[in-house]
Amino acid sequence: MRSEQRPPSIELLDPLVGTWEIQATHRLMAGVIIRGRATFEWMAGKVVMLWRADYDLPDIPDSISMLTCADAGDGSADADEPCTMHYVDQRGVTRVFRFSAEPGVFRFWRDWPGFSQRFTYTLSPDGNTLAGIVELNQDGATWVEDLRSAYHRVS
């Protein structure tokens, strides 16, 4: 598939490809540094990205996510370009998020009664650090910071 056929939001994920070390903190785990590794890779055709995350801490589940944008059926992206991230982890938890991308900023969100989430990741200008904030809403009104992470490029 040629690059000009890829949806713009998908093309903006290109800088993520590679292996990353993760350091994170969680609001419910005061003083604990969560460490792990992540890989971002394209499936053939570069319209589906796989994001794998593995953690050293048993309380944090390893996961895999698949990011892609809708296709209108004729090989071109849907006019509204609804992009989704399908998440699954080792517990068997599955979730579907929407995502959007702009140069250097990646957002994922899920509106679900009692457990809405929104993620914002920002890529450093040199492309070697990805800073993330995850927020959680459990009452339909209040967003709280749930997780803060830093990804550092290994390769």
> Tens digit of pLDDT for each residue in 70-79?
865 555 544 4
DSSP state of 71: B
Nearest to 115, CA basis, from 142, 90, 89: 142
Q: Is residue 80 predicted with pLDDT exceeding 60?
A: no
**CATH at residue 102:** 2.40.128.20
The parent domain of residue 7 ranges over: 3-153
pLDDT score, position 3: 45
Question: Which of 117, 119, 120, 6 lies closest to 69, judged by CA?
Answer: 6
pLDDT, tens digit (0-9, with 9 covering 90-100), for 19-48: 999 999 999 999 999 999 999 999 999 999
Confidence (pLDDT) at 5: 78
Residue type, position 101, single letter: A
How many domains does the chain contain in total?
1
Backbone φ and ψ of 20, nearest 5°: -135, 145
pTM to 2 decimal places: 0.89
